[in-house]
């Protein structure tokens, strides 16, 4: 496992808890709007410094009076076989653990849930089923396999008691209809969070229009979820 980043403090990444964010390097997908390319693309992440697990754990020992939770993000954390060990070491220090995932590895999610190694999971839904191959850049049987895995992860979260949220970034690849289709796919669910994709060089009018569209989507799909918000 390579740890590529440590954001020492966050008020927004773990609901209702002061957290830090640990970013693991590497991802099995290549989403076009990815904002974490520092932790995804090998040519970039190789140049970035490595942070040892010991340094992370030492940092957490020092911050036990301030921080309450650790968000494990990426990249895609579930590609790392030693993720359960990292979660376990963090939980031994009495921190809550949140996992950000693309849902491609339901076996790892099941392992973490079964062994009480996560307290919150955010699963990013990239597109409606039919559009997933286009958005994540895979075709044919591999795309079908990955979509099946995402669906298994969705069902796993809905069947378990670990708090979770589904999220979707309203990227330029998605239309209003796409997000409505996603909502119909994952409904009913506890929490669905929509977020705007921040695009470089987007003018104010385009951004306002994207906000309006997202707001109208939220109004249409709110009845499907216990909670539906925009971040
Ligand atoms: S799954 Fe997440 S980290 Fe990986 S490429 Fe897509 S947006 Fe980036």
For residue 24, the CA-to-ligand 1 centroid distance in Å is 12
CA distances from 6 to 42, 121, 162, 180, 202 (A): 18, 19, 25, 35, 29
For residue 173, the CA-to-ligand 1 centroid distance in Å is 14
Tell me what the mean pLDDT of segment 137-163 comes to. Answer: 93
Q: What percent of the chain has pLDDT over 70?
A: 97
Q: Is the CB of 101 under 6 A from ligand 1?
A: no
Tell me what the mean pLDDT of segment 192-212 comes to. Answer: 84
Q: Are 90 and 60 in contact (CB under 8 A)?
A: yes
Tell me what the mean pLDDT of segment 196-210 comes to. Answer: 80
Q: Is the CB of 29 under 6 A from ligand 1?
A: yes
Each residue's pLDDT tens digit, 221-230: 999 999 999 9
- Extract the tokens encoding 132: 């997933």
Cβ neighbours for 166, distance < 8 A, ≥ 6 positions apart: 122, 123, 124, 125, 154, 157, 186, 189, 191, 192, 193
Tell me what the mean pLDDT of segment 58-86 comes to. Answer: 96
Residue-level pLDDT at 136:
82
If we measure between CA atoms, which residue out of 114, 108, 119 comes closest to residue 82? Answer: 108
For residue 135, the CA-to-ligand 1 centroid distance in Å is 11
Each residue's pLDDT tens digit, 108-130: 999 999 999 999 999 999 999 99
Whether the per-residue pLDDT at 201 is higher than 80: the answer is no
Q: In the 8-state DSSP scheme, what is residue 120?
A: E
Q: What ranges in 46-139 are assigned the alpha helix state H?
A: 53-62, 83-92, 106-114, 132-136
Q: Is the CB of 27 under 6 A from ligand 1?
A: yes
**Which ligand 1 atom sits nearest the alpha carbon of residue 33?**
7
Which position has the higher pLDDT, 8 or 42?
A: 8
Element housing 179 (H / E)? helix 176-186
Tell me the pTM: 0.93
Whether the per-residue pLDDT at 151 is higher than 70: the answer is yes
Whether the per-residue pLDDT at 208 is higher than 80: the answer is yes
Residue-level pLDDT at 33:
78
Tell me what the mean pLDDT of segment 48-72 comes to. Answer: 94
Q: Which of 25, 37, 38, 40 to mutate to test the pocket of ligand 1 (most atoms within 8 A of CB)?
A: 40
What distance in Å separates the CA atoms of residue 19 and residue 12, rounded to the nearest whole number? 8
Cβ neighbours for 41, distance < 8 A, ≥ 6 positions apart: none
Domains of the chain: 3-230 (3.20.20.70)
User: Which protein residue has the closest C-alpha to ligand 1 atom 8?
Assistant: 34
Residue-level pLDDT at 222:
97
Q: Is the CB of 30 under 6 A from ligand 1?
A: yes
Q: Is the CB of 67 under 6 A from ligand 1?
A: no
Whether the per-residue pLDDT at 171 is higher than 80: the answer is yes
Each residue's pLDDT tens digit, 18-57: 999 999 999 988 888 787 877 777 666 666 678 999 999 9
**Which ligand 1 atom sits nearest the alpha carbon of residue 136?**
6
User: Which protein residue has the closest C-alpha to ligand 1 atom 6?
Assistant: 31
On average, the pLDDT of the chain sits at 92
């Amino acid at each position: 496992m390579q740890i590529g980043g440590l954001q020492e403090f966050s008020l927004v990444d773990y609901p209702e808890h002061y957290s830090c964010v640990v970013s693991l390097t590497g991802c099995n997908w290549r989403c076009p709007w990815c904002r974490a390319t520092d932790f995804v693309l090998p040519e970039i992440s190789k140049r970035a410094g490595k942070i040892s697990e010991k340094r992370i754990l030492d940092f957490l020992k020092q911050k036990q009076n301030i921080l309450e939770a650790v968000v494990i993000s990426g990249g895609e954390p579930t590609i790392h076989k030693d993720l359960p060990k990292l979660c376990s070491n963090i939980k031994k220090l009495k921190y809550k653990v949140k996992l950000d995932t693309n849902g491609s590895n339901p076996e790892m999610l099941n392992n973490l849930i079964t062994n009480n190694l996560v307290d919150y999971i955010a699963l990013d839904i990239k597109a409606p089923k039919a559009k997933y191959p286009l958005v994540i850049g895979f075709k044919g049987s591999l795309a079908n396999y990955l979509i099946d895995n995402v669906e298994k992860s969705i069902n796993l979260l809905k069947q378990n008691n670990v708090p979770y949220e589904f999220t979707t970034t309203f990227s330029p690849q998605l239309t209003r209809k796409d997000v409505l289709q996603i909502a119909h796919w994952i409904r009913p669910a506890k929490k669905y969070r929509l977020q705007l994709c921040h695009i470089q060089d987007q003018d104010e009018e385009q951004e306002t229009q994207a906000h309006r569209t997202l707001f109208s989507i939220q109004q249409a799909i709110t009845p499907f979820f216990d909670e539906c918000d925009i971040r």
